[in-house]
Chain A
């Protein structure tokens, strides 16, 4: 039986905030990937940042240190297919 894999998606009100966090994470050498937002995340913005379980703690720390970046939370979603070419 395959172990379930979970991905973390940081949600945003718009693309601008997503890009701001993406740049901040890159500056801090934290791996992440710009991703379409999965439907089950129920976000109004089609873009989210995909982060692995190993890195989500670091992402939360960055957000805590810069409260000017607006997010709509971080959702944990079970990876459904192996088709995703995960780059985070």
Chain B
């Protein structure tokens, strides 16, 4: 068996661009200080890391003020902070039937505390129909939370249309960009996004343990965690200014350094170049799979309408078996099961069985895709010839 072929980039991207590893190593060996604590030259170097990464993210997402970019340990923490810090009993939330548990679980808890939640049913290919928002809008609708793209089918949601509706009707528009950031253009101005939650370790090529959110000026969201911020230190009250309000305790500074290097890689390479590469690979993957007997593809099966994520099943095999065989016999890494998104699986009709998910990155090659297709064909032929 040859090299490992990693096709689970929706879980976390691997490999990372070389500068990401170098920058993290350099931080740990040469800098190492705690940002925002004291005013030594070392502290200032550490603080610069956070500043530079905030600026890089602000540029990528067209955010005017980089101090509105807040770091959290991951996007789940960011989403919990926003949803639990904004909503009150009696409020109504609109969300989609494709959401990840990072949204669905906090909303489940909030529902038990008196927040009304409506899940807008998406089409079987995962796409949301924006007019459904207006049909389900209530007098207490205060927040709309939608994922930028599905982690199960890759389906890209109509963020601009949803953002426009939210702006007209006066509700907060929260986007879960776990899938999509680093793969498709995200523009908080153009798409009328009030809160953009991101993860560092997927399309943005940073390490695990990084993420955060952008928050539009003027929004009042209670922090989830309070503590030492290295500022207003004569007071026990949590600061009310950004980003300190939401950044208590020592951050994952080496991780944020790595995230900055990842974002810089995207800017240097060009998001359109990355998108084009991934689109070409997806075209190859989709057309190859469509010619294999017994394969079911879920989602749009159209590289223009999805990120480089695709779910499939091979008739007669459980998805777990398929991933196991791909790994054990061919060294191909995929992810099978529910993908922490039972709502999405219910929408596409796979709640009982799950799917085998394949997800590519800028570092996936044509050869990787061809080897994967060959492996699927071999497994399928073996099974059908039994």
Chain A interface (Cβ < 8 Å from any Cβ of B): 35-39, 46, 81-85, 87
Contact = CB atoms under 8 A, between A and B. Distances in A.
A36 B382 CA distance: 20
B321 A36 contact: yes
Contacts of A85: 325, 328-329
B360 to A, nearest CB: 22
A54 B321 CA distance: 23
B317 A36 contact: no
A83 B379 contact: yes
Given A38-B321, A82-B386, 19 more contacts: A35-B320, A35-B324, A36-B318, A36-B320, A36-B336, A36-B337, A37-B320, A39-B318, A39-B320, A39-B352, A46-B338, A81-B317, A81-B321, A81-B383, A81-B386, A83-B379, A83-B382, A85-B325, A87-B328
B353 interface: yes
Contacts of A36: 318, 320-321, 323-324, 336-337
B303 to A, nearest CB: 28
Chain B residues touching A, range: 10 to 19
A61 to B, nearest CB: 27
A37 B320 CA distance: 7
A37 B317 CA distance: 13
Contacts of B386: 81-83
Contacts, number: 41
B367 to A, nearest CB: 24
A39 B353 contact: yes
A32 to B, nearest CB: 14
A46 B351 CA distance: 14
A13 B373 CA distance: 34
B325 A83 contact: yes
A44 to B, nearest CB: 10
A46 B320 contact: yes
Contacts of A87: 328
Contact of A38 (B320, B329, B382): B320
B336 A83 contact: no
A84 B325 CA distance: 7
A88 to B, nearest CB: 12
Contacts of A37: 320
B198 to A, nearest CB: 25
A84 B328 CA distance: 9
Interface string B331-362: 00000111000000000000011100000000
Contacts of A39: 318, 320, 352-354
A85 B338 CA distance: 23
Contacts of B320: 35-39, 46
A81 B318 CA distance: 11
B317 A83 contact: yes
Contacts of B321: 36, 38, 81, 83-84
Contacts of B383: 81, 83
A46 B336 contact: yes
B212 to A, nearest CB: 26
Contacts of A46: 320, 336-338
30 contacts: A35-B320, A35-B324, A36-B320, A36-B321, A36-B324, A36-B336, A36-B337, A37-B320, A38-B318, A38-B320, A38-B321, A39-B352, A39-B353, A39-B354, A46-B320, A46-B336, A46-B338, A81-B383, A81-B386, A82-B386, A83-B317, A83-B321, A83-B379, A83-B382, A83-B386, A84-B321, A85-B325, A85-B328, A85-B329, A87-B328
